[in-house]
């Protein structure tokens, strides 16, 4: 059935963001990791800030137990509740601890290699590199232990990622002179 999509302005915010999910893993679960699986991968979409880049959304399901996870508090209007931080003067999300999150979406930026072929370049410094690199190693399309940038198209990426299961851990990285950011680190699922 065809139906009109709701405007993005009315879209509900996700309570669990990739930032809060990864910070929770680093705080409480980094030794053993959290069992996760990739549900879906979006098509490439425009990057508002850089015409040479595209975005890709990766929807991850939490398959293991996660008794504590940081999450944004969502108001009745479906939007994240924010407050003004007296110390920094910045608006910040109101955060709560929830149990057993079901899913989280990661939004990754990728560099366009060839627009007509939908090819993207995955750089080793990108936050998506560990996950995408791991997925292609699991399919045998990249050698085990690969630590070099690579090029793929969006269909190859979807084939490698969708259905992939792994134990998620996290690292904090920092750009030279920039802000710190969290990176999802996939590991083989350990049989219990």
pLDDT mean by block of 10 residues, the chain; 192 residues:
40 82 96 96 90 92 96 93 91 94 95 89 94 98 96 96 97 79 93 62
Question: How far is 22 from 14, CA to CA, in rounded Å?
Answer: 15
Q: Maximum distance among all alpha carbons in the chain?
A: 51
Give the tens place of pLDDT for each residue, 88-100.
889 999 999 999 9
Question: How far is 19 from 5, CA to CA, in rounded Å?
Answer: 27
- Predicted TM-score (pTM) of this structure: 0.88
Q: Report, in angstroms and rounded to the nearest whole number, the Rg of the chain calculated over CA atoms.
A: 18
Domain-by-domain residue ranges, the chain? 12-187
Q: What are phi and psi of 184, to 5 degrees?
A: -75, 125
Task: Say if CB 54 and CB 109 are below 8 A apart.
Answer: yes
Question: How far is 153 from 44, CA to CA, in rounded Å?
Answer: 10
């Amino acid at each position: 059935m065809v139906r009109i999509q709701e405007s993005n302005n009315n879209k509900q915010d996700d309570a669990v963001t990739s930032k809060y999910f990864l910070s929770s893993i680093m705080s409480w679960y980094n030794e053993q990791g959290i069992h996760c699986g990739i549900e879906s991968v979006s098509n490439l979409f425009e990057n508002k800030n850089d015409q040479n880049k595209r975005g890709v959304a990766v929807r991850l399901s939490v398959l293991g137990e996660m008794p504590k996870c940081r999450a944004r508090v969502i108001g009745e209007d479906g939007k994240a509740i924010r407050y003004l931080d007296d110390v920094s003067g910045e608006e910040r999300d109101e955060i709560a601890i929830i149990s057993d999150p079901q899913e989280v979406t990661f939004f990754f930026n990728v560099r366009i290699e060839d627009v007509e072929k939908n090819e993207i370049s995955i750089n080793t410094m990108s936050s998506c590199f560990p996950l995408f690199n791991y997925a292609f190693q699991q399919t045998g399309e990249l050698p085990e232990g690969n630590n070099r940038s690579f090029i793929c198209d969006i269909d190859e990426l979807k084939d490698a990622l969708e259905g992939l299961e792994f134990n998620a851990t996290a690292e904090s990285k920092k750009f030279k002179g920039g802000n710190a950011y969290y990176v999802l680190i996939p590991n083989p699922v350990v049989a219990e």
